[in-house]
Amino acid sequence: MTKGLIFNIQRYSLHDGPGIRTTIFLKGCPLNCWWCQNPESISSNHDIMRQPDHCLGCGSCMEACPEEAVRVGETGPVIDRSLCNRCLKCTLVCPSEALEAVGMEYTAENLVKEALKDRVIFDNSGGGVTFSGGEPLMQPDFIEEALKSLNHEAVHTAIDTSGYTPWPILEQIAAYADLFLYDLKLINDLGSRKYTGNSSRLAIDNLKRLVEDGARIRVRMPVIPTYTDHDSNIDAVAELLIKCSIEELELIPYHNYGTAKYSRLDLEYRPGAIEIPTSEILGRIKDRFRTRGIKILSEDDLYDGRFKRHE
């Protein structure tokens, strides 16, 4: 039976598709965006997140580590990531969760059972289950099995994707997903390679092919000041949408909720400080898209009857 690696199950999600949803976050991503708010999702393997202020200084983690990769410092646990083999033994013995395992294995059957605990909420709100990440399509067999089970239960499903996956995988998943939440970041290939670690070509081509196949798609653009909000990128996104006969766009303003995770994973947050988009910045972006004939969706019209479950 296929297993998947999940790092979070978020209930009562209001912005990941129609209705009230349960969003399932999967490990693994082909991108490494400078501004990523889920850095724990990038690796396809388990991770260990430090919570230094929880540390009791007991030394249990040091005794449990077979690689001598953990020590207790003045401010809490310290991990030598070059020695750590992610066996997670330190997390199992820590009495205060100063070391926390990131990633839990589920079978598709068990994951669907967990999601169906919220069935009443789905039924009453027109919601369902959204698979996010990371990039959920890095675990395609697991996703396909879960989608088939949810389809059997008549639960609406959505895939939150960057589009960075081989077309045969996207085509395979499109047969079972009710909706794609398709994130467009940077259209310029040089900028995309620099700030996301990958070419923009695959995501652009896959969007066009999904449209040709008649998939239900909601395109979204993260607004990252200095990175994605400049006029040339806005115009390039608008041009792509026009070519795909897509007339609507959802903007996802940057937030800094995830920046603290970087130090806890011993990662560098490369942008440093990014300003939160102001209403003036968002207004300018909306106006520029509107002049190109692209409607920017409001909270009231984000998910209407077009995105209900299809049979």
Look at 97-101, 173-177, 294-298 and tell me which has the smallest mean pLDDT: 294-298
- Residue 273 pLDDT level (bands cut at 50, 70, 90): confident
d(CA 170, CA 168): 6
Domain count within the chain: 2
Is there a single domain that holds both residue 86 and residue 149?
no
pLDDT in tens, 132-143: 999 999 999 999
Q: What is the DSSP string of 258-290?
A: TTHHHHHTT---TT---PPPPHHHHHHHHHHHH
Is there a single domain that holds both residue 37 and residue 172?
yes
- pTM (two decimals): 0.95
Is there a single domain that holds both residue 171 and residue 57?
no
Is there a single domain that holds both residue 98 and residue 118?
no
CATH number for the domain spanning 194: value is 3.20.20.70
CB count within 10 Å of CB 114 equals: 16
